[in-house]
Amino acid sequence: MAYFDSSKNRALWEIRLGQLRKERELRLQGDAGDAFKEEADREMSAGTRIRMTYQELLQEEAMASEKNRKERGAREMGRDKTRVQAPEREGMGNEMG
């Protein structure tokens, strides 16, 4: 119940509770409230499904993993170069000094 300790959360709950009371009154009067229908329509239209076969999904995952592998390889190559350059710099500093 710590949710209601916050005045903001308590106010939001009161607003929602008022909406639910209005909908209940409408239903008791015989009028079917549209609030639930609107919510359902919003949920259904929020996301669109794309038909995809299992083989297409496997191909997409393989391409994504290949792309990640290439990026990881490029990053590791960059790290290796900096590791090689660092000891060379140290060696050069010792020879000159």
What distance in Å separates the CA atoms of residue 34 and residue 62, rounded to the nearest whole number?
Answer: 45
Count Cβ atoms below 10 Å from residue 33 Cβ, excluding itself.
16
Q: What is the pLDDT of residues 37-74, one digit of tens each?
A: 666 666 666 667 778 899 999 999 999 999 888 888 77
Among 21, 45, 46, residue whose Cα is nearest residue 35: 21
23: CB partners within 8 A, 6+ apart: 33, 35, 36
Q: What is the pLDDT of residue 20?
A: 92
* Amino acid letter, residue 22: K
